[in-house]
């Protein structure tokens, strides 16, 4: 059994809700933070953090680990390794596995598997409907008892307004949010990229951004009626952010996330990549204006969290033509450096870390993590925020290789990840 005691010494500690960086040691005992102060002496293993920043472990609200059912793409073991390498100590797995995570048995299976692997604290976002079929509500109460932190039919939008109403009403009793994959599929059928002059030039069927906006607008109209909590997965367009900004100002219980790729890339990347399906994701990479709105949403606090939508697919599955290829990219290992590269010109490191820690923690109601404070989980990440390197996907721990950032120069490097006092990534130096 690994020790759950650890002294992280010599680093600069940053708590996203505290004022500034401070040089201090951090002591974890039995998996929990017990002390933060300069020059702690304790008879426990030491992790030297000299020259590094020490932050609460990152929290990802949105991953696909493909287990059960599609273990050739990823499994809980390989997905957990990606999470640890990316500085994530908490991940929330989406239910679109095979079978889906739509009852207490399937939820327990995945949570148990992740515990055996022991590299990341995995939580489940349970299905809203049985078989993700969009008809019958799943047993949310049983799944909540089994540890679900939210409900979503991610990959498939909840299009029926009556069903969405019932989902928001029913989930209210568990204080858990409904996570919407906002896409009016009547507008996106056969689509492969954002609809614009670029899709027209490339001859690819477009997925207009109004498809996202329409569903979000409809859902917001249901909130006062239902009293439910609402979270928008992978927001991608300016008008969605504007709708959510207004809803927030009205005091509606809304939250949203953005992926690193929607912060860093726009649809021009699809034009430049010569039909490389590693730039095909849903929602698609949007316009420059949309991308700027995502950054602005992070700056002004409309966006709560950066979530990866880590979605592994094997090279041969992606290489069947751009239109036929499945949507999605991996992202856990590059999330921090992509976010740092994209956002640090616009915001402080502390504000950036909020999007990876306290922001997502409050969305899914994690009260025992997200900050560095006595009594909280000893989940910590050590990084160098300034070193630059060219990312190579060959270094990934994923079973897949579908990164949109292969060959890109990125800033920021995860050096070590600590889960409840255990070093799960990196070496003691």
Per-position b or e across 389-408, b if 16+ CB within 10 A of its CB: eebebeebbbbbbbbbbbeb
Should residue 227 be labelled a site residue for another protein when binding is judged by CB under 8 A?
Answer: no
SS3 55: strand
Angstrom distance (rounded) from CA 191 to CA 247: 29
Residue ranges in 322-341 that form contacts with another protein under rule CB under 8 A: 322-324
Which residue in 274, 309, 316, 379 is the catalytic one?
Answer: 309
Select the span of 216-224, 226-234, 268-276, 382-390 touching another protein (CB under 8 A).
Answer: 268-276
Q: Is 279 in the site for another protein (CB under 8 A)?
A: no
Cα torsion 398, 84, 279, 230 to 10°: value is 120
CB of 395 to another protein, least distance (A): 22
147 or 326: whose CB is closer to another protein? Answer: 326
Q: Which residues pair with 206 in a beta bridge?
A: 193
Shortest reach from residue 45's CB to another protein, in Å = 46
CB of 95 to another protein, least distance (A): 24
Residue closer to another protein (CB basis): 130 or 323: 323
Rank residues 184 and 333 by Cβ distance to another protein and give the closer one: 184
Residue 309 catalytic?
A: yes
- The site map against another protein for 189-208 (x = CB under 8 A) is xx----xxxxxxxxxxxx-x
What pairing do the DSSP bridges indicate for beta strands 46-48 and 305-306?
unpaired
> What count of other Cβ atoms lies within 10 Å of the Cβ of residue 45?
16
β strands within 291-405, DSSP E: 305-306, 380-390
289 binding another protein? (CB under 8 A): no
- Tally the residues of the chain: 429
Should residue 367 be labelled a site residue for another protein when binding is judged by CB under 8 A?
A: no
For another protein, give the closer residue by CB, 341 or 402. 402
Cα 21 from Cα 18, distance rounded (Å) = 8
When asked if residue 320 is in the footprint of another protein (CB under 8 A), the reply is yes
* Residue pair 254/231 in contact by the 8 Å Cβ criterion: yes
Please give the Cα distance from 231 to 180 (Å, whole number). 6
List 258's β-bridge partners, or say none: 306
**Residue 171 CB contacts under 8 Å (≥ 6 apart), including other chains:** 140, 151, 177, 178, 228, 229
Residues in contact with another protein, total (CB under 8 A)?
Answer: 27
Q: Which stretch binds another protein (CB under 8 A): 87-95, 187-195, 292-300, 350-358?
A: 187-195
Does residue 266 belong to the site contacting another protein (CB under 8 A)?
Answer: no
Binding flag, residue 319, another protein (CB under 8 A): yes
Among 21, 44, 118, 275, binds another protein (CB under 8 A): 275
User: Residue 125 and residue 114: Cα distance in Å, rounded?
Assistant: 14
Any contact of residue 183 with another protein (CB under 8 A)?
Answer: no
> Minimum distance from CB of 408 to another protein (Å)?
19
Closest separation in Å from C-beta 190 to another protein: 5
Of 289, 139, 163, 316, the closest CA to residue 226 belongs to 163
Can residue 210 be called a binding residue for another protein (CB under 8 A)? no
The end-to-end CA distance of the chain, in Å, is: 21
* Catalytic sites, residue numbers: 309
Q: Which residues bind to another protein, rule: CB under 8 A?
A: 189-190, 195-206, 208, 274-276, 315-317, 319-324
């Amino acid at each position: 059994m690994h020790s759950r005691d650890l002294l992280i010494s010599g680093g600069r500690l940053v708590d996203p809700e505290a004022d500034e960086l401070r040089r201090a040691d951090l002591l974890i005992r039995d998996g929990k933070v017990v002390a933060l102060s300069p020059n702690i002496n304790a008879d426990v293993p030491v992790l030297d953090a000299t020259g590094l920043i020490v932050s609460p472990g990152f929290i990802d609200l949105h991953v696909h680990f493909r287990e059960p059912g599609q273990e050739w793409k990823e499994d809980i073991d390989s997905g957990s390794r990606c999470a640890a390498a990316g500085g994530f100590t908490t991940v929330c797995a989406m239910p679109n596995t095979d079978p889906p995570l739509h009852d207490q048995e399937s939820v327990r299976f995945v949570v148990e598997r992740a515990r055996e692997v022991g590299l990341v604290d995995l939580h489940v976002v349970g299905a809203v409907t049985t078989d993700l079929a969009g008809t019958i509500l799943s047993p949310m109460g049983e799944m909540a008892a089994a540890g679900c932190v939210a409900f979503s039919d991610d990959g498939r939008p909840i299009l029926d307004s009556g069903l969405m109403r019932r989902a928001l009403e029913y989930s209210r009793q568990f204080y858990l949010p409904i996570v919407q994959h906002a896409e009016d599929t009547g507008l996106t059928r056969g689509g492969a990229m954002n609809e614009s002059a670029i899709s027209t030039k490339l001859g690819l069927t477009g997925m207009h951004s109004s498809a996202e906006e329409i569903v979000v607008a409809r859902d917001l109209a249901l909130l006062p009626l239902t009293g439910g909590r609402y979270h928008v997965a992978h927001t991608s367009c300016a008008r969605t952010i504007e709708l959510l900004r207004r809803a927030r100002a009205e005091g509606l219980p809304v939250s949203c996330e953005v992926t690193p790729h929607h912060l860093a890339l726009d649809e021009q990347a699809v034009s430049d990549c010569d039909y490389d399906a590693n730039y095909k994701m849903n929602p698609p990479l949007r316009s420059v204006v949309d991308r700027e709105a995502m950054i602005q949403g992070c700056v002004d606090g409309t966006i709560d969290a950066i979530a990866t939508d880590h979605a592994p697919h094997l090279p041969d599955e992606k290489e069947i033509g751009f239109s036929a290829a499945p949507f999605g990219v991996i992202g856990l290992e590059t999330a921090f450096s992509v976010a740092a590269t994209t956002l640090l010109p616009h915001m402080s490191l502390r504000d950036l870390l909020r999007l990876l820690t306290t922001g997502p923690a409050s969305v899914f109601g994690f009260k025992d993590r997200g900050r560095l404070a006595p009594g909280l989980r000893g989940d910590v990440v050590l990084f160098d925020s300034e070193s630059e390197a060219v990312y190579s996907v060959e270094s990934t721990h994923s079973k897949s290789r579908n990164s949109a950032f292969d060959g890109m120069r990125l800033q920021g490097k995860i050096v070590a990840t600590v889960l409840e006092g255990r070093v799960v990534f990196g070496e003691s130096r």
